[in-house]
Structure formats: structure tokens, C-alpha cells
Chains A and B, each alone.
Chain A
């Protein structure tokens, strides 16, 4: 009997302590942000989709269509065709697509690349309603990005 009455009082006290803690936390600053209005920045090593590096020296990528990324990829994201140009020199890709919806962002392709011409892009809001948006043609992608860079340089 006495034990039960004691339990009622300790229980009531524990509830009051809990209420005090939630009140204390209520006065803290909210940690959430209004995301689309307030921009966020991912970390510098953020793993976005894979893309070509544009080397400033040559102004383009350095892919030699060695198919190493295609072979190492655990989920068959890449489809690459390439041949040697007629004037000789290195092999260049003429078809290079990447399926982001299969990609598990393991960055094995980046480590396998002998010319270091693959990287993760810093983009993070890649959601889309259309499945086709996740097929990236890297050669077109490079051209577009070059245009963008040119536009900012010229302006």
C-alpha cells in the first residue's frame, strides 16, 4: 500500500520532469530550415551523379573509351562505344550514356578510370518525374556545360 502511494508520487514527479524538459527544448531555436527558400549546400565530397571532368588545359574531357568503368560497374550503368579517329591518336568515345536510376553511387568507376576523367557532380536535387531524365548522354552533357562556362566567361 505504502509502496503504491510512493510510486504514484514518484511517477507524477517523473512526468513533471519530462514536461520540464520538453518545455526547455521548446525554447531552443528550431533546427529545421525552409528548404526551397533557404538554400543548403552539400559537403564538398558530396556524391551526386557521375559526370565528365572538363580539364581546363584541353577544354574537354579525356575519355579514351577503355570500358574500364563499364566493366567495374556493379549495376551496368554505362553504355559506351568508341573508336580510333581516322587521323590517329587516342581512342575517343562517340557514344557514352549513363543510367542514373541504376547507379548506386559507389564511385568504383571513378577509381577505375585511368585518365581521371569521371567525377561526382555536386548537384543534389536530381529528383524528376520522368524516367528518361536519368539517362545522361555524357558527350552532350559536356558540350552543354562548356557552353554554360563560355557564357559566364564572356559575360
Chain B
């Protein structure tokens, strides 16, 4: 009994520590990638090549005054960032980092991931609604429309993968790929998944909910201090999580040349994160209606087609 309690505690502390440190590392990485793409140097002052810059920023944000607008809905306003951060921690529970490094290898791992991932949208809408600001509300509105629509092609793409593997268990999903990665069997599904993931995490070119030039900061316009930091952390953790899921589902998880293990997982995840940042700093932003058109007129039909072809081929093979 005590053993189990200690185990849970260690996992909980470990996950929270990993999430926070990892998000700080990602923020640093994003700054450096954007800086070098734009021929700049990025943070250089705090620590070696600015390594501690994000830590310093986090300390600054924690020490800032917590501002709640006068006409805001206080309870929702305070709850929203916490709710935004919560699914992130929960999702790490089923991430298959290495053969022995899965907190809980649930039977319905994939389903669990996507059901909790869609909680994010409630937090965003709460933030936008409770701020009592027109820009926030517009951002939240766009965000809800976007996330809900993009979940359709995303799930259809994942469904094709699950159809091939025949299991929802994360470890089995990865083990299936020890000979051939899923990306070679399902290239279209991978592309759809990555686009849906970009849209789900509100990143450019699908960053219309926080479109800086139109809505200032979208749903978190009114947030400051630690609450803003929580949104920020959850955004970057979401990027990490999408890359994790893509790695587990499509890129063969911990399998790789030479020695299998967690290092391959981490390398693949960071490569995907880099690609996501690279895309962000290259492309302009879509317009909300074009975003919807793209989702319903291009991605969803392709995803359905992909699912259909997968089913037919599977039937023929067996």
C-alpha cells in the first residue's frame, strides 16, 4: 500500500517537474530557432547563451501582480488557466517514453489521450468568456470553432492508424512499429495528424485564436503574471504532447537504429517540435473562414478517403 502511494507521488512530482522544465526548454528553443531563422542571436545575457533566460522570465512572471479586470467573472477567470494546465499533466500519464517508462499503460490509451486533449478548448473558452473583453471573446469563439472542427480529421487520421494496429494500448501501438514505422504505411494520416495538431495547439499558421495583429493576444489578452505563464506553459506543453503522440503513433516511438530506448523517443519528439517551430516562423496566418474551409473541404475528405482505403486494403490482406 505504502509502496503504491510512494510510487504515485514519485510519478506525480516527476511529471510536474518534467512538464515545467520541458516547457521552459521549449520556450528557450523557440526563441533561439526564431532568432536564427531571422538572423538574430536571441537571448544571450542570462547564463551561457541565454540558457537561463526563460527561468528568469518565469521568476519575473511569478513575482508579478495578479490583475483581475473589474468586470471579469472572477471564479472562471481564476479557474481557466488551471484547467488549461490540468490536461497537460494528465496526458503525460500514458506517454510511452521507453519500454519501462510508461506511468500507466492503459488499455484505452489512445482514446484517453484524445478525450483529455479536447478539454483544453473549455479552458480557452472560459478564459475568453470570463475576461469580459471583446477581443478575448472573439479569440475564444474562433478557438472553439477551430479546435472542434480540427478534431474531426485528427481523429479520423488516428482511427486509420488504430485500424491497422488493432489496439488502443500505447505500448502495443509502439511495439507494432518495431519493423516498419507507421509513417510509411500511413503517410497521409501523418500529414493530417500534424496539421490537426498544429491547429489544436493554436500554432501558426492556424494561430487565429491569438492572432496578434487582429486580436492582440486573443483569449489571454487580459491575463498577466502567473496565470499568463500557465497558459504559456500549457501551450508549449501541448506542442510537446502533440509531438509525443505523433512519435508514438507514427514514428516508431523508442525504436531506432543501434540501441532502442528513450533517447530515440526524445530525439524524434524534438525534431518534430523543431519542424513545428520552423513552420511557425515561415508561414503567414490563415483567415478564420479559410481555416474552416481547409478543415472541412480538404482535410476531412482526405481523412475519410484514407480511412476507407485503409479498411479496404486491410480486408483484402487478411
Contacts and interface: CB of A to CB of B under 8 A. Distances in A.
Q: Does a CB–CB distance below 8 Å link A and B in the complex?
A: yes
A26 B37 contact: yes
A30 B35 contact: yes
Interface string A11-48: 00001001101110110111110100000000000000
A105 interface: no
Contacts, number: 36
Given A8-B298, A18-B283, A22-B282, A34 B41 contact: yes
A29 to B, nearest CB: 7
Taking residues whose C-beta sits less than 8 angstroms from the other chain, chain B's interface range is 10 to 19
Nearest to A18: B282
Contacts of B281: 22
Contact of A30 (B41, B45, B282): B41
Interface in B233-254: none
B278 A32 contact: no
Contacts of A26: 33, 36-37
Nearest to A34: B44
B267 interface: no
Interface residues of A, number: 15
A30 B278 CA distance: 17
B210 to A, nearest CB: 21
Nearest to B284: A18
Contacts of B35: 30
Nearest to A33: B41
B79 interface: no
Interface of B: 33, 35-41, 44-45, 278-279, 281-283, 298
Interface of A: 8, 15, 18-19, 21-23, 25-26, 28-32, 34
25 contacts: A8-B298, A15-B282, A15-B283, A18-B282, A18-B283, A19-B278, A22-B278, A22-B281, A23-B278, A25-B39, A26-B33, A26-B36, A28-B39, A29-B39, A30-B35, A30-B36, A30-B39, A30-B41, A31-B39, A31-B40, A32-B39, A32-B40, A32-B41, A34-B41, A34-B45
